[in-house]
Structure 1
Amino acid sequence: MSAVAATVSASAAAMVRVDSLSKVYPGGVEALNSVSIDFPEGQLTTLLGPSGCGKTTLLKIIAGLLPASQGSVQVDGRPVTGPGPERAFVFQDFALMPWASVLRNVGFGLELRGVARSEREAVAEKYIIQVGLAGFEHAYPHELSGGMRQRVGLARALAVNAKVLLLDEPFSAVDEQTRRKFQEDLLQLVAQERKTFIFVTHSIEEAVYVSDRIVLLSRRPSRVSSIVEPAIPRDGGTEEIRRNPVYLDTVEEIWQSLRQYLD
């Protein structure tokens, strides 16, 4: 079976369910048209499609940051009516508080929930170490590189222990070397945390590298074109993935599927 023709595993439980979702912006711009997707628990699913197809719109509706025009979103069986503690968003532009240290930025979500300072700082320190920023707890955003600031944003999302992590092109603002390291780190986080990750990227190579599933979206108004499940063994280590013929074949197959939208 080809990768693009692959279907969702029936045994995977849906943590996030998007049902017949449509979004029309003021002025009549239709971004999404009757989109239905299930996002399995404990997996990373990537939204991939032509530029302007509504990937970020869909992500923000799942986050509760935008209202849908029609349809519904459920997270863990509950309807989404706005932001909630079971979801955490990692923004493309870092969205850090410039006046706060790394420690406070990472613990800020817990601070908003009223968690005691000693407890939230202990949790923040755990995730600061996990994303590779040990020793920078008391640094400020302007003292960090772009890659380090993005690690702070990821640690902040992890610290609130949300069931669903929503990542909007989180690696687009960093250089290629840092981006590759982030991709490796993300694979390890998915394996360790067993949360539901929903990832937006423009990069086919990145999507195939990090994803359990890839949802291909059509040109706006966006629909689900197909779902890809890259059958790439990951037990040989992250450095082996890009050398695997299945990786190369899947990248090419997705490109052939998406190039129609560029004509």
Structure 2
Amino acid sequence: MNAPIALTAARPVTDSVVEVRNLDKIYAGTVQALKDITVDFPRGQLTSLLGPSGCGKTTLLKIIAGLLPASAGEVRVNGKVVSGPGPERAFVFQDFALMPWASVIKNVTFGLEMRGMAKAEREEIARRSIARVGLAGFENRYPHELSGGMRQRVGLARALCVDADVVMMDEPFSAVDEQNRRKFQEELLTLVAQEKKTFIFVTHSIEEAVYVSDRIVLLSPRPGRIAEIIEPDINRDGDTEAIRRHPVYLDTVDAIWYSLKTYLD
């Protein structure tokens, strides 16, 4: 059986914010999660990490975030070696990671408060971030009063609030229904265009990766290696809903499925 199309090969990256070089990760001395990962993440683009379950997508994201140490190799952000979390990186967790006892605005201002920013200034910044994700008017609500989709927006507002160069998102839409997921995907495209930041996005969904991504890093089964890097040739500046009907979108989804299917056979 032949692949439906050839995947679009990635072009060389000329303006990297995040550089990963020869990265390995071994857990408990025996389980190798990642092997010899070398990849760049360009400024102003969204790059998805995609691959079979257990291939190390979230592990790679957490190493870039400084939440996990690498076993070998290194990560550089803006030319500096990552040795732990830093203000130039923000993380949106899959489970929202909100403080249940704190209001929306308290959750969103948490990172700024940790930096020692004055209350009036951090709340002004937070209100702008909250409005950008469509939650204006909910500043004084608590997480238990919000839907799953709204809680996810709070996590995103918190990440935007710290004005990091790199925004990392670990399956951020997996806990919402399909209708909200599509809406969030469309809003994410607008956000990427407006913010001009480097987004790194973990997903299990081929369709989602092709829809939102400038680049897709396809990882092999454990130990995760770079299998392919794909750049879908899709214009996302116009009608974002039309992307799902675009022949390149449909063909790229099919081609990635064919590539992943070889690991499952």
Partner of 1:198: 200
- Whole-angstrom CA distance in 2 between matches of 1:91 and 1:111: 19
Quote the offset at 1:5 in angstroms.
Answer: 4.2
Match of 1:6 among 4, 9, 12: 9
Alignment counterpart, residue 154 of structure 2, candidates 149, 152, 155: 152
Q: Deviations over 1:203-222 (max 9, x none)?
A: 00000000000000001001
Q: Tell me which stretches of 4 or more aligned residues in structure 1 moved more than 3 Å.
A: none
Instruction: Give, in whole Å, the separation in 2 of the partners of 1:53 and 1:168.
Output: 14
SS in 2 for 1:7: coil
Cα deviation for residue 8 of structure 1 reads: 2.4
Distance 1:116 1:29, change over 3 A: same
Tell me if structure 2 keeps the 8 A contact 1:23–1:68: yes
Query: Does the CA contact (< 8 Å) of 1:96 and 1:153 recur in 2?
Result: yes
User: Cα deviation per residue 1:9-62 (whole Å; 9 max; x = unaligned)?
Assistant: 44x400000000000000400000000000001100000000000000000000
Q: Distance in 1 between matches of 2:50 and 2:201?
A: 9
Which segments of 5 or more consecutive residues in structure 2 lack a partner in the other structure?
A: none
Q: 1:138 aligns with which of 137, 140, 143?
A: 140
| Counterpart position of 1:112 | 114
Unaligned runs of 5+ in 1: none
| Residues paired across the two proteins, number | 261
Q: Tell me the SS of whatever aligns to 1:122.
A: helix
Partner of 1:98: 100
Hey, what's the Cα distance between the residues in 2 that align with 1:3 and 1:195? 29
Distance in structure 1 (CA, Å) of the matches to 2:95 and 2:237? 33
2:239 paired residue number: 237
C-alpha distance in structure 2 between counterparts of 1:237 and 1:119, whole Å: 36
Q: Which one-letter code corresponds to 1:98 in the other structure?
A: P
Shift of 1:261: 1.3
Please say if residues 60 and 66 of structure 1, whose CA atoms lie closer than 8 Å, have aligned partners that are also in contact. yes
SS in 2 for 1:20: strand
Amino acid at match of 1:159: C
Taking structure 1 as the reference length, what is the TM-score of the superposition?
0.97
Q: Note the 1:13-162 alignment, pairs <5 A.
A: 13-162=15-164
Equivalents in 1 of 2:237, 2:72: separation in Å?
42
| Aligned partner of residue 199 in structure 1, secondary structure | strand
Provide TM-score, normalisation by structure 2: 0.97
Give the counterpart letter for 1:7 in structure 2. Answer: A
Q: Does 1:259 align with 2:230?
A: no
* TM-superposed deviation, 1:6: 1.1
Maintained 8 Å contact 1:64/1:81: yes
Say which is worse superposed, 232-241 or 33-42, in terms of deviation: 232-241
SS at match of 1:178: helix
- Percent identity between matched residues is 71
1:187, distance to aligned residue in structure 2 (A): 0.4
CA distance in 1, matches of 2:196, 2:76: 19
Does the aligned pair in 2 maintain the 1:24–1:30 contact within 8 Å?
A: yes
| Match in the other structure for 1:209 | 211
Indicate if the aligned counterparts of 2:8 and 2:233 stay in contact, CA closer than 8 A. no
Amino acid paired to 2:34: L
1:36 and 1:58 map into 2 onto residues whose CA distance is 11
